[in-house]
């Protein structure tokens, strides 16, 4: 089943999985995907799922519809296409299982292993200054010091 992930400011705000023949996108509550923003038309766009070839159709919106940063009127959709409508991004997946796999890849795991904790603690307890060895280094002078000068009379 197709899935559309709706994002605002890079945050997922909705996941839409559908078995419908088409879905509507717009500002008013009678749409399947409601994007509540004045820059979005009441009936902004539609996605048709006929013949297993999803197609995005702009419904003469005032501010336009974009797919992968290109303004479109009609556009066939493919996995991971980014539809931009106003300040919203909608990520399209032909199959909701594909989107789940992509979400797993995009997530970053927080390490909490014993070794990671030990290394972090070692850095906190041994600041860089403590780890550096300081000792005097002899400097040899050639010809300008008083001890090297011989008086000539």
The torsion angles phi and psi of 133, rounded to 5 degrees, stand at -90, 130
* 117 in a structural domain: no
* 113 in a structural domain: no
CB 27 within 8 Å of CB 37: yes
Domain hosting 99: range is 3-106
Whole-number Å distance between alpha carbons of 103 and 107: 6
* 63 in a structural domain: yes
Render each residue's pLDDT in the chain as its tens digit; 153 residues. 899 999 999 999 999 999 999 999 999 999 999 999 999 999 999 999 988 899 999 999 999 999 999 999 999 999 999 999 999 999 999 986 654 545 544 444 444 555 555 665 655 555 555 545 556 666 766 655 554 445 555
Whole-number Å distance between alpha carbons of 76 and 78: 7
Whole-number Å distance between alpha carbons of 115 and 58: 54
* 47 in a structural domain: yes
* 134 in a structural domain: no
* 101 in a structural domain: yes
CATH of the domain at 96: 2.60.200.20
Number of domains observed in the structure of the chain: 1
């Amino acid at each position: 089943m197709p899935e559309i992930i709706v994002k605002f400011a890079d945050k997922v705000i909705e996941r839409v999985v559908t078995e419908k023949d088409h879905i509507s996108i717009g500002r008013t509550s009678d749409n399947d995907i409601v994007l509540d923003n004045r820059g979005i038309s009441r009936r902004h766009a539609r996605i048709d799922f006929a013949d297993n070839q999803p197609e995005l159709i702009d419904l003469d919106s005032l501010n336009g519809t974009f797919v992968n940063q290109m303004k479109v009127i009609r556009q066939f959709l493919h996995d991971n296409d980014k539809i931009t409508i106003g300040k919203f991004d909608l990520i399209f997946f032909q199959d909701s299982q594909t989107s789940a796999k992509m979400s797993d890849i995009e997530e970053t795991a927080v390490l909490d292993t014993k070794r990671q904790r030990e290394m972090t603690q070692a850095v906190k307890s041994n600041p860089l200054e403590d780890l550096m060895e300081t000792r005097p280094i002899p400097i040899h002078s050639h010809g300008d010091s008083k001890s090297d000068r011989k008086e000539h009379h």
